[in-house]
Amino acid sequence: MNPRDLQELLEAVAAGRLAPRQALEHLAELPFADLGFAKLDLHRELRVGLPEAVYAEGKTSADLLRIVERLLAAHGRVLVTRLAPAAAAELQARLDAEAVYHERARILTAGAAAPRTGPPIAVLAAGTSDLPVAEEAAVCAEWAGHPVDRAYDVGVAGIHRLLGRLPEIRGAGVVIAVAGMDGALPTVVASLVAAPVVAVPTSVGYGASFGGLAPLLTMLNGCAPGVGVVNIDNGYGAAVLASRIARLAQRAEAAVRAETGEAVSAVRED
């Protein structure tokens, strides 16, 4: 159950349109739905602002279908990550809701799209080999309700490419910087913009990159402050962190506007 549905339910009880016992039936599966093999966290959106996502790897097609259908029923939308093309095609064929497969990101989204509000989240990829992870971050951020500006192939090997996109990047509320190899992009970006930077190391690189460990250590040891680092290839985690930062900033801005409006009203009344 999403927050809007819960609010409508409580308002219906308060107005006498719904009996408490009927409301209790709606709430019976909070905080989770037990499918036997999985316990779905239907209460997560109420707690943290986003519904539970589905990590597809290791799940059978039958399990995925049951999970996705139940989450769609609860939230009206669902996000499935790390989904292979064949499994995606099978899900699309069997779901009643419209489902879109984002092949490069290996993500399936189904159901109603969240309205995109607030300043954009900028997603940067150092090289084209980093695009699967960058696209995972970008698609997830869009699904979470944020406009996304993509700037790809802007790594430090040709830093003029990054500088050419700098005015656009500086307009973002949060920056996600995805890089393999030496992993230097997030540090450079953090030295050029005021927004917080979420760094994502990728497993792209030759042997000494150790499957992403070298860029991970570079990002953790960067000399420019204002960088938070997520796990190797974790585009989804980067998007969630960026979304939470952006939402906090939006709430703070709304609170300031409300206080300013109240102050102006008070002055006019005086």
Q: pLDDT tens, 225-243?
A: 999 999 999 999 999 999 9
Considering the domain 121-252 in this protein, what is its CATH number? 3.40.50.1970
Q: pLDDT tens, 6-50?
A: 778 788 889 888 888 787 666 655 667 777 777 887 878 877 888
pLDDT at 215 > cutoff 70? yes
**According to the model, what pLDDT value does residue 39 have?**
80
Least confident of 19-23, 180-184, 254-258, 259-263: 259-263
Q: How far is CA 27 from the centre of its chain?
A: 26
**According to the model, what pLDDT value does residue 264 have?**
54
Give the percent of the chain with pLDDT over 90: 65
Q: Mean of the per-residue pLDDT values for the chain?
A: 89
261: number of Cβ within 10 Å: 10
Q: pLDDT tens, 68-87?
A: 999 998 888 999 999 999 99
Q: What is the 3-state secondary structure (H, E, C) of 136-200?
A: HHHHHHHHCCCCEEEEECCCHHHHHHHHCCHHHHHCCCEEEEEECCCCCHHHHHHCCCCCCEEEE
Task: Grade residue 62 by pLDDT with cuts at 50, 70 and 90.
Answer: very high
Question: In the chain, which segments carry CATH 3.40.50.1970?
Answer: 121-252
Q: pLDDT tens, 182-208?
A: 999 999 999 999 999 999 999 999 999
Q: pLDDT tens, 123-156?
A: 999 999 999 999 999 999 999 999 999 999 999 9
Q: Give yes or no for a contact between 124 and 185, defined as CB atoms under 8 angstroms apart.
A: yes
The partner residues of 201 in beta bridges, in order of sequence, read 179
